[in-house]
Structure 1
Amino acid sequence: MNDFSTVIIGGGISGLTCAKYLNEKGYSFMLLEGSDELGGRVRTDKVEGFKLDRGFQVLLTNYPEARKTLNYSDLRLKYFESGSLIKADKGFMKMENPFRKKMAYLTMAFSSVGSFSDKLKIRKFANDLAEIPDEDFFKMQATDTLTFLKNYGWSDKMITNFFKPFFGGVFLENELITSSSFFQFTFKQFFRGDAAIPLEGMQAIPDQIAEKISSTKIRRNARVKGIENNQVFLEGGEILTTDRIVLATDPHTTDMFLGETAKRIYNTTTCTYFSAESSPLKGQKMIALNPNRRGVVHNVCVPSDISPEYGNAGKSLISVSTQGLDKVDEQKLTSRIKRELFDWFGAQVNVWKHLKTYHIPESLVQYRAETPKQSLKLSDNLYRCGDYLAYPSLNAAMQTGREVGEMIAEM
């Protein structure tokens, strides 16, 4: 007799979403998570009273899978202003979403981010994308994003000042080699919805999904060392027998279980957190972007301006993101960041306190044009899910988890 009809290995977003769908259908399953907490890459740590997400992350509220899976009201979302601050020689240029504020289009027209023609193209482009169903973007013929932008007719100034720093930060790569289909999908999400963080940090997202599942169906600190046929072998000698196995782990671990050695290229990010007496962005709820991608500061955000719960005792939490570092010497990186940001914000930077650095060398699998979605069903009793099998995003993690759950439920 089998212990469970399904064993899900991995308690990140895709594994939890799969478990949620099986739970709603009344299926017998067990989710095994090797660490002490759920969420995978979507985790929040508490350091000296501050809430630190493991790498700068946001929730795009227009994500179709997030709308299906999450209860936004219960997450108590806190919203960014729609737009961005772009570092200039002196101060910042502000680029606002012309669909959200009546005066924003006028502001954009006279800003120096790009030309007036560029702003007209932004409006037309957003209107065109609004008519495309989300699922159709990944069926379209694609090129790299930079080629797409140039072919569309945006100026080099607009590409340098806005598209490269903004979407380079989203894709975690500076040359915009990411597929134009993913760019168009993501652009639509930003313009049609909001960027937000939960009141208590990004960890609230996996926690909310897990709350919909009986605690008896989730085991933490359950490290799996291998699988064979319908058996799951845990460290310590325990063996679980099941009808189906779902691999919802990171790509390397799934490859190990399958005996494969798939070659993947990853985009890398490093997130450095500081505490400060006050916000250097003076309460503006936007991300500050650096068009100079040769620096170590690629973007700056003050999460406590968006959700005060991220801060501590009235102090501000500052997040600085850097892309592409192979290795990190925290002390040297911290010093370089402060030297660069002295030019942005002045002497206040000298008294910022370093809290923690997260170096994530395999943050996102690089997603190039014509990258195919990989198979989720490997055999009648073996499945896998995760955003690396589709496109790199929280939405794809949820989507692949849901699709595997539905495949199993329909059997």
Structure 2
Amino acid sequence: MSTGDAQRGGAGASTLPDAVDVVVVGAGLAGLRAAQTVARAGRSVVVCEAGDGVGGRVRTDLVDGFLVDRGFQILNTSYPALRAAVDLDALDLRRFTPGAAVRDGDGRLHRLADPRRVPTWAPRTALDRLLGPGDKARIGALTLRSLVVPPARQARAPERSTADELARWGLGGTPTETFLRPFLAGVLGDRDLETSSRVFSLFWRSFARGDLTLPSRGIGAVPAQLAARLPAGTVVVDTPVERVAPGRVETARGAVRAGAVIVATEGTSASALLAGRVPPPRTFALTTTYHVTAEPPTRRPLLHLDGAGGPVVNTMVLTAAAPSYSPDHRHLVASTVLGAEPLPGSELRAELTRIWGTPVGAWDELATVRVPHALPAAVPPTPEGLRRPVDVGDGLFVAGDHRDTPSTQGALVSGRRTAQEALRFLARDA
């Protein structure tokens, strides 16, 4: 079975129903979680997906036998909504070392790890000179604060940009430029660190609490599991939605009547389908290039960052953590830049040679994945609690990480709470 087949999950119905209680538009994480919530409440639901499988921006493709995720993906096991929605053990998670390797502007490589999580690395991390003792102590204090302050308070705290928040903790300058900016740019898609300090605080908490992992069969195993738990025929793929109206969804394969409609697509397409009832969010683009090599630059499952501020925000040997991403003895390296366009091949190879400290000219380029709307920008001002309205009136609802936080957690929470709002609407309308 190919990865694409696996990601059909509960999909495959050849015809659309004439009418259901709820139509969900989009089979990404938010849409699948919404459908799951509706189905568990005993209501009928169908999910219309334009693509040939589930997952949206969280998919895995099979390319020459290799598992190729849709861009830079890391699954954080600390997310409560993830634990509530899926069976993590069934995903056969493969873990990365909780830390990073940083190549500084002088060409030195620094390997840092969370001493709480990797005690054997504590002496190495304490003695490493990328960050001074005071900087390490301040990062420790920031981490402690993120762990002890309840998430609800963090989501309502006084707001500033992430850059200003780091400066407030005395972490401007070298700590930000050599370590925090390249790390956070890859996670948030935001090199300027304009992201709300509320969002940053919750992200930092998740990194401190959870394991950074990938399912052995690719990130697409997450939506595939969600889809497989839905009633047979719930998800209808290859069914682009052309128009959404109160009580009716028109698709390329026919129309469906519904008591409620949940649009759970990426934010810009959701805005278009809802005819401007919600404004399109600003988004960040990411582009990831995958290379194959017989000899890996490292066998450590560790994220590598460019502390010199180059265009590559991160690069990692995926097969160091998850050998199953390769069909044979070769290794798969993923490297990500900000924006919707990859670096020219020669420039990318030069940057990777510098970051890895070894020639990469013999690496074979396998695939380049552009994700133009990878992450919604969560810049100030954000609503207290970080939750935007999901009921847009007339039985129409909107779900997605653009309504909560730009993360797996945000997408799953949004799907569940939007479905609950739709169920309340149906109960009132009965």
TM-score under structure 2 length normalisation: 0.90
What do residues 190-241 of structure 1 show as CA deviations (whole Å, max 9, x unaligned)? 11111100000000000000111012222111221112221111224x2211
Return 257-266 or 197-206, whichever deviates more.
257-266
| Equivalent in 308, 311, 320 of residue 323 of structure 2 | 308
Structure 1 partner of 2:9: none
Q: How much identity, in percent, do the aligned residues show?
A: 26
Q: In structure 2, what residue type is equivalent to 1:176?
A: L
My pick for the range that moved more, 392-401 or 216-225, is 216-225
Out of 307, 325, 337, the position equivalent to 2:348 is 337
Specify the alignment match of 1:356 in structure 2: 367
Q: In 2, Cα distance between the equivalents of 1:223 and 1:361? A: 19
* Change over 3 Å in CA distance of 1:346–1:390 after alignment to 2: closer
Give the secondary-structure state (helix, strand or coil) at the position aligned to 2:233: helix
Superposition pairs for residues 360-375 of structure 1, below 5 Å?
360-372=371-383, 373-375=387-389
Residue deviations 1:341-363, cap 9 Å, x none? 22344664111000111122221
Question: What's the counterpart of residue 13 of structure 2?
Answer: none
Describe the SS at the equivalent of 2:375: strand
> Does 1:8 pair with 2:24?
yes
Matches within 5 A, 1:159-308: 159-236=176-253, 238-260=254-276, 262-281=279-298, 283-293=299-309, 295-308=310-323
Deviates more, 1:297-306 or 1:345-354: 345-354
Q: Distance in 2 between matches of 1:340 and 1:55?
A: 19
TM-score normalised by structure 1 residue count: 0.94
| 2:289 alignment partner AA | T
SS at match of 2:119: coil
Judged with a 3 Å threshold, the aligned counterparts in structure 2 of structure 1 residues 343 and 130 are, in CA distance, closer, same or farther, namely closer
Question: Separation in 1 of the partners of 2:130 and 2:108?
Answer: 13
Q: Does residue 1:387 correspond to 2:401, yes or no?
A: yes
Alpha-carbon distance, 1:101 to partner: 2.4
Kept in 2, the 8 Å contact 1:303–1:310? The answer is yes
Separation (CA, whole Å) in 1 of partners of 2:372 and 2:122: 38
User: Contact 1:114/1:157 (CA < 8 Å) preserved in 2?
Assistant: yes
Q: How far apart in 2 are the matches of 1:155 and 1:364? A: 25
Match of 2:414 in 1: 400
> Deviations along 1:1-48, whole A, 9 cap, x unmatched?
971111111111100000111122221111111111000000101111
Structure 2 residues not aligned, in runs of 5+: 1-16
The answer to whether the 8 Å contact 2:51/2:238 transfers is yes
* Offset of residue 262 of structure 1: 2.7
Please name the residue that 2:174 is paired with: 157
Q: Is 1:144–1:176's contact at 8 Å kept on the other side of the alignment?
A: yes
CA–CA distance in 1 between the matches of 2:179 and 2:235?
43
Please give the alpha-carbon distance, in whole angstroms, between the structure 2 residues aligned to 1:7 and 1:179.
33
Report the alpha carbon displacement of residue 91 of structure 1 after superposing the two structures with TM.
Answer: 4.2
Q: Which deviates further from its counterpart, 17-26 or 53-62?
A: 17-26
- Which 10-residue stretch deviates more, 28-37 or 259-268? 259-268
Structure 1: gaps spanning 5 or more residues? none
Counterpart amino acid of residue 334 in structure 2: S
Count the aligned residue pairs: 404
Residue aligned with 2:312, SS? coil
CA contact (8 A) 2:311 2:337 kept: yes
Identify which of 89, 98, 102 aligns with 2:115: 98
Equivalent position amino acid for 1:339 in 2: A
Aligned pairs for 1:16-31 within 5 A: 16-31=32-47
Three-state SS of the structure 2 residue aligned to 1:42 is coil
CA distance in 2, matches of 1:146, 1:70: 34
Letter in 1 for 2:46: M
